[in-house]
Structure 1
Amino acid sequence: MPASPENIPLGECTLSQSKEQLTPPSRTESTVFSLSRSESLWTTEASRGKCEVFWFPIHLMSTGGSFLACGIVISGLYFAGHCRKVTNILGPALLSIGLMVFVVGVVLIPITKENRKKSNMKSILQKIHI
């Protein structure tokens, strides 16, 4: 008496039966298509405030600014003649790292604005064509 396909071990199945058991039932749209149409960070502008969208650049600018301020203070201590061994290396290092991180944060703001505009235009055009 032949066993039903659900009870046959995978090694005893024919190739077509094992493929049917391993693949999920097909849907009308592919996974790639459904993922490409999902909402991204830039299209949810109405539900998110500006501070939430620009959180990462603001965080970078504040971190870079604090490193920059510490670098200025430590460099000032070097020129004042206090702790010359420590401030000789630490001052310029904090100045350069702080300035670099601050500039990256400043540059990310226009990039984020541009990406939001592009995605908003894309979503408006998709709503018109649907």
Structure 2
Amino acid sequence: MEGGPENIPLGVCTVSQSRDQLTPPSRTESTVFSLSRSESAWTAETSPGKCEEFWFAIHLMSTGGSFLACGVIISGLWFAGQCQKATSILGPVLLSVGLMVLVVGVVLIPITKENRKRTSTKKPLGHYRPPAFNL
């Protein structure tokens, strides 16, 4: 067929012709087998960037900072005398929750660095380690 499969009107192809167009030409080696033997599929050649490495800490810090900023604004409204009932409760709650989540995110950064360093220096699985105690 001269135009390729995208230019064929509906109903013109028979079932066997459309099946032939959908199946890839056979190779001597299956795609799954060739992908399983490739080195780049099993080894991480590129290290993840800082955003992928610290995504959870960044997420916590941005969420905590947003809550903290809202708490500051709402507390400022209370001091200005606007909506005394709502701002007297929401201001301190948002301030405390925002500060707590922000601090957890900041503390999570060195913990993630330490875990990253520990996993990079970990011995391979096939390494024999004698027991820690002798009987």
TM-score by length of 2: 0.58
Please list every run of 5 or more consecutive structure 2 residues that lacks an aligned counterpart in the other structure. 1-42, 129-135
* 1:50 CA drift (Å): 1.3
* 1:44 CA drift (Å): 5.3
Corresponding residue for 1:94?
94
Amino acid at match of 1:126: P
Q: Does 1:126 align with 2:124?
A: yes
Corresponding residue for 2:80?
80
Higher relative contact order structure (alpha carbons within 8 Å, sequence separation ≥ 6):
1
* 1:46 CA drift (Å): 3.3
The Cα offsets for residues 9-57 of structure 1, whole Å up to 9 and x where unpaired, read as xxxxxxxxxxxxxxxxxxxxxxxxxxxxxxxxxx958331111010010
Aligned residues, how many? 85
The Cα offsets for residues 51-104 of structure 1, whole Å up to 9 and x where unpaired, read as 101001000000000000000000000011111010000000000000000001
Separation (CA, whole Å) in 2 of partners of 1:84 and 1:45: 58
The share of aligned pairs that are identical, in percent, is 73
SS at match of 2:74: helix
Separation (CA, whole Å) in 2 of partners of 1:113 and 1:80: 43
* 1:111 CA drift (Å): 0.1
Please list every run of 5 or more consecutive structure 1 residues that lacks an aligned counterpart in the other structure. 1-42
Separation (CA, whole Å) in 2 of partners of 1:65 and 1:45: 35
Amino acid at match of 1:92: P
Amino acid at match of 2:124: Q
Within 5 Å, give how 1:1-130 maps onto structure 2.
46-122=46-122, 125-126=123-124
TM-score by length of 1: 0.60
Separation (CA, whole Å) in 1 of partners of 2:75 and 2:96: 12
Greater share of helix: 1
Separation (CA, whole Å) in 2 of partners of 1:109 and 1:93: 25
The Cα offsets for residues 95-130 of structure 1, whole Å up to 9 and x where unpaired, read as 0000000001001000000000011111xx439x69
Q: Which runs of 4+ in 1 moved over 4 A?
A: none
